[in-house]
Amino acid sequence: MRLRMIAAVVLLSLAGCDGTQPGGGPTASAAASPSAKALPAAGGCHAGQSLRPDDYRPATLNAVDCAAEHQAEIVRVGQLTTPPENKTREVYTDCDTAAREYVGGDWHEGRLGLAVIVPSTEEWIAGVHEYRCALLEFSADGFTSRLRTGSLKDGLRGPRPLALTCVDVLAIPDGQGWYQSIDRLVPIDCAQPHNGEYVGLYASPDVPHPGMTKLTREATQACNAKAATFLGQSPSKFANRTDIIVIPTGGNPERWALGDHTVRCYIVTRPDNRVTQSLKAGS
């Protein structure tokens, strides 16, 4: 029961923001020449389209003040020396580093997605030779950005206002007290009724993608350990619990090839057991 459901949730990330094929968004041929409009600079924001991270292209970006409603925030602008065939590991690493510095911690620990924006061939010919690194606050883990006002800068420093905490599980019950499939994990205030909570990250070794079946097994074991620590329980005690299961999300092969081997770990209660506090309080 657990492995079947968990595998489905790990695969959820493939259909969400981490799963679209690189370059899946609009290109310059479908919009005005990107060289003819002002693109957001580092520290600036984008508005106009709510996109998944891998859908962004320079042609889709519309510069706005971050005090206005927007979907994403540019944390770095870098120069490409050759036409981009695709996103590269070096560019992704630079964006990942810039994002961590910008928010003050590992962005995976926040309600955040990272968009690596490189020009299409048409955009390169039109004169766009920069790549942009953008952060967005997601509407649900693995899905699109949400409208927000204000900057994301320092969101994981001090009181950490962007930190992942509790989530509402949008799912189809299986008629046996658990879930047939899970659609989305939506961040929510822990004082509101919910049935899930973020408990930590698992970073897999830098090896070729092991395949989703093996990764699901590895991530589940690692997340079980994270959950036990989060709840202040021994691994053996947590393993015997029947009221909470572990859900890992992540593992997209395209992101994996760029060096992102991070999996988020969540604990989830039964559909009929919604709480209004941290699950840690009831452990």
List pLDDT tens digits, range 89-124. 999 999 999 999 999 999 999 999 999 999 988 899
DSSP run (H or E) holding 79: strand 72-79
Complete edge-to-edge strand list for the sheet that includes strand 166-173: 179-188, 166-173, 196-203, 262-269, 244-250
- Residues of the chain where predicted confidence (pLDDT) is lower than 50: 1-32
pLDDT of 35: 58
The C-alpha torsion from 66 through 61 and 15 to 228, rounded to 10°, is -30
Spell out a b/e string for 109-146, using b for 16 or more CB atoms within 10 Å of the CB, else e.
bbbbbbbbbbbbebbbebebebbbbbbbbbbbbbbbbe
What Å distances lie between residue 36 and 29, 31, 64, CA to CA? 13, 11, 16
Tokens of 217: 């097994």
pLDDT in the model for residue 39: 87
Count the neighbouring beta carbons within 10 Å of the beta carbon of residue 212.
17
Number of residues that this document lists for the chain: 283
| Residue in this structure with the two tokens 């602008």, named with its chain if needed | 77
Rg (CA), the chain: 19
CB 67, CB 43: distance < 8 Å: no
Q: What CA–CA distance (Å, rounded) separates 212 from 10? A: 8
pLDDT at 36: 60
- What residues does 24 pair with on adjacent strands? none
Structure tokens at 175: 């008629």
d(CA 151, CA 263): 25
Summarize pLDDT for 42-57 with one digit per residue, the tens: 999 999 887 788 888 8
pLDDT at 53: 81
At 215-227, the pLDDT tens digits run 999 999 999 999 9
| Sequential DSSP letters for 4-68 | HHHHHHHHHHHHTTTTSPTT-S--GGGSS-GGGSPPPPTT-EE-S----GGG--GGG--EE-TTS
Residues 150 and 45 sit within 8 Å (Cβ to Cβ): no
**CB hemisphere CA count around 186 (13 angstroms):** 12
Burial category of 279 from C-beta neighbours within 10 Å (exposed 0-12, middle 13-18, buried 19 and up)? buried
Where does residue 156 fall: left (phi above 0), alpha (psi -120 to 50 degrees), or beta otherwise?
Answer: alpha
